[in-house]
Chain A
Amino acid sequence: MAMPHFTVHQPKTLEQALDLLSRHRSGVKLLAGGTDLLMKMRQAGLKAEHLVSLNRVEGLRTISYRDEDGLVIGGAARLADVGRHPGVAQHYPALAHACSVMATPQIRNMGTVAGNLVNAAPSADTAAPLLAYGASLVAVERGGRRQIKLQDFFRGPGLSVLEPLEIVEAIRVPAPPARCGSAYERLSARSQVDIAAVGVAGLLNLDLEGRVLRCRLALGAVAPTPVRCLEAEQMLEGQAPDEALLMRAGASCVRSCQPIDDVRASAAFRRAMVQVLAQRVLKRCLALAQGGAS
């Protein structure tokens, strides 16, 4: 299928980008990495007469970490840059791992974290880790900006609460507390390159006595949207995390998923792997949380 014809706008500021969006309203799409958008236009018949590129908007690729503010990922920051940012590698290992193993080096050099979220694929690799870390999106439109919790962001496959005239300016991720461990595990049929068939992210935060103060578990590719495992989180919070409890909590994650059979895996395989990966992730989180302050 041939690429449809369109005009490309390359604004230098967010204000110009917002103006272009509202001026062209219906037939307009935002372009960042292009790895999803151009494929949908060439192969899936997605049409837009105007593309507004975010790639020359000043400051939109910035990635910054400070203990006081946590992590701020600019709306056009590339997956590869996020994955190898020292602050991400040190404080957000689950996100660093997702950003460094998903897709291919070329796609990671092009694609953005914001695009990965906004496209709202159930299998989006950055979604589960960012859910575990309690991330929010900062969405701007001409009237102002709002913060959307990632856990309220997804509405279904390819659907989110982002309005057509909004741009994701940044993703904000709180700084992880002391005695915190986090991890992400994914499975796909063809090593990393293929889209994830199952992804599990977790975070464990211990109190001074070594009990679980806070637990977050999130699943990708096993429901219409990335989902949290509230039951498993509640089983662990307030408890002393021995191995038997981690195994039970990991097993309970299966009740939070609603997988389907598709080309990448059967629903039964996905259910079995949710348990295995959740247990692995919890063990890794505990080891990291017990291992040190970072």
Chain B
Amino acid sequence: MAKQTIELRVNGDRYEVAVDPWRTLAEVLREELRLTGTKIGCNQGDCGACTVLLDGRSVSSCLTLAVEAHQREITTIEGLAPSPDHLHPLQQAFVQHGAVQCGFCTPGMILAAKHLLENNPQPTEQEIRRGLGGNLCRCTGYNKIVEAVQAAAQELAAGKEG
């Protein structure tokens, strides 16, 4: 069972990596590419900490084999900020609304929120809660996360950032 050489397109960068076919995308992102913003929590697709965007859709990278992501577009939390000095509106809103406490769920939460807002730019509070239903947070009680997503939705709708 030889390693397979694959091309991962992460945040606009291309990486050629030789991976064991049974390795998950979460493991390869963290251990081979050293993109440790993607977290591994439950490692069984329940907690959402490993959420990344694959071809624009939120997926659990702990249940995605790295070889299956060959030549597909991956966005991780490291790829969201437009520059080192500027945060993405979702990141900014999370900071401003105190939606980050321990921070472990935050990367997955923000990517799940990004997927939600791309499909539903003006969600109701209930739609936000359902859209983040695949992401667990044990610190905030969720209210501040919901407020942050509402604020980011308004910010994005105001056209300041795409």
Q: Check if A3 is an interface residue, CB within 8 A of chain B.
A: yes
B45 and A106 form a contact (CB under 8 A): yes
Inter-chain contacts of B70 with A (CB < 8 A): 10
Q: Check if B133 is an interface residue, CB within 8 A of chain A.
A: yes
Q: Check if B134 is an interface residue, CB within 8 A of chain A.
A: yes
State in angstroms the CA–CA spacing of A15 and B68 once bound together.
Answer: 20
A39 and B44 form a contact (CB under 8 A): yes
The one of B43, B45, B65, B130 that contacts A107, using a Cβ cutoff of 8 Å: B45
Q: Contact string, A46-75, partner B, CB cutoff 8 A, digits 1/0?
A: 000101010100000000000000000000
The one of B21, B23, B64, B112 that contacts A110, using a Cβ cutoff of 8 Å: B64
Q: Contact string, B6-50, partner A, CB cutoff 8 A, digits 1/0?
A: 000000000000001111100000000000000000011110100
A110 and B60 form a contact (CB under 8 A): yes
How many pairs, one residue from A and one from B, have CB atoms within 8 Å of each other in the complex? 85
A106 and B60 form a contact (CB under 8 A): yes
Inter-chain contacts of B24 with A (CB < 8 A): 3, 38
Inter-chain contacts of B51 with A (CB < 8 A): 106
Q: Check if A109 is an interface residue, CB within 8 A of chain B.
A: yes
Known: A34-B63, A43-B44, A107-B45. A8 touches B68 (CB 8 A): yes
| Chain A residue at minimal CB-CB distance from B112 | A105
Known: A106-B48, A110-B60. A6 touches B22 (CB 8 A): yes
A 1-59 contacts with B by CB, 8 A: 3-8, 10, 31, 34-35, 38-39, 42-43, 49, 51, 53, 55
Inter-chain contacts of B21 with A (CB < 8 A): 6-8, 51
Inter-chain contacts of B134 with A (CB < 8 A): 103-107, 193
The one of B48, B59, B63, B115 that contacts A38, using a Cβ cutoff of 8 Å: B63
Inter-chain contacts of B4 with A (CB < 8 A): 8
Give min CB distance, B152 to chain A, whole Å.
Answer: 17
A6 and B116 form a contact (CB under 8 A): no
| Chain B residue at minimal CB-CB distance from A2 | B22
B68 and A34 form a contact (CB under 8 A): yes
B45 and A35 form a contact (CB under 8 A): yes
Q: Check if A116 is an interface residue, CB within 8 A of chain B.
A: no
A8 and B65 form a contact (CB under 8 A): yes
Inter-chain contacts of A51 with B (CB < 8 A): 21, 65
A 83-111 contacts with B by CB, 8 A: 103-107, 109-110
State in angstroms the CA–CA spacing of A5 and B67 once bound together.
Answer: 13
Give min CB distance, A51 to chain B, whole Å.
Answer: 8
Find the residue from B24, B112, B133 having the highest chain A CB count within 10 A: B133
Q: Check if A217 is an interface residue, CB within 8 A of chain B.
A: no
State in angstroms the CA–CA spacing of A35 and B131 once bound together.
Answer: 19
Q: Check if B102 is an interface residue, CB within 8 A of chain A.
A: no
Q: Check if A119 is an interface residue, CB within 8 A of chain B.
A: no
Q: Check if B58 is an interface residue, CB within 8 A of chain A.
A: yes
Q: Check if B158 is an interface residue, CB within 8 A of chain A.
A: no
Q: Check if A294 is an interface residue, CB within 8 A of chain B.
A: no
State in angstroms the CA–CA spacing of A55 and B64 once bound together.
Answer: 12
B 65-99 contacts with A by CB, 8 A: 65, 67-68, 70
Known: A8-B4, A39-B45. A109 touches B68 (CB 8 A): no
| Chain B residue at minimal CB-CB distance from A81 | B57
Inter-chain contacts of A42 with B (CB < 8 A): 43-44
Q: Check if A192 is an interface residue, CB within 8 A of chain B.
A: yes
Q: Check if A80 is an interface residue, CB within 8 A of chain B.
A: yes
Q: Contact string, B110-138, partner A, CB cutoff 8 A, digits 1/0?
A: 00100110000000000000110111000
Inter-chain contacts of A38 with B (CB < 8 A): 24, 63, 65
Q: Check if A191 is an interface residue, CB within 8 A of chain B.
A: yes
For the A-B complex with A3-B22, A10-B67, A105-B116 known, give 8 more contacts whose Cβ atoms are closer than 8 Å. A5-B22, A7-B21, A34-B65, A38-B24, A51-B21, A105-B134, A106-B48, A109-B59
Report A's interface with B, CB cutoff 8 A.
3-8, 10, 31, 34-35, 38-39, 42-43, 49, 51, 53, 55, 80, 103-107, 109-110, 191-193
Q: Which 10 A-B pairs have the closest CB atoms?
A: A104-B134, A8-B21, A109-B57, A106-B134, A106-B60, A3-B22, A106-B58, A8-B67, A105-B134, A38-B63
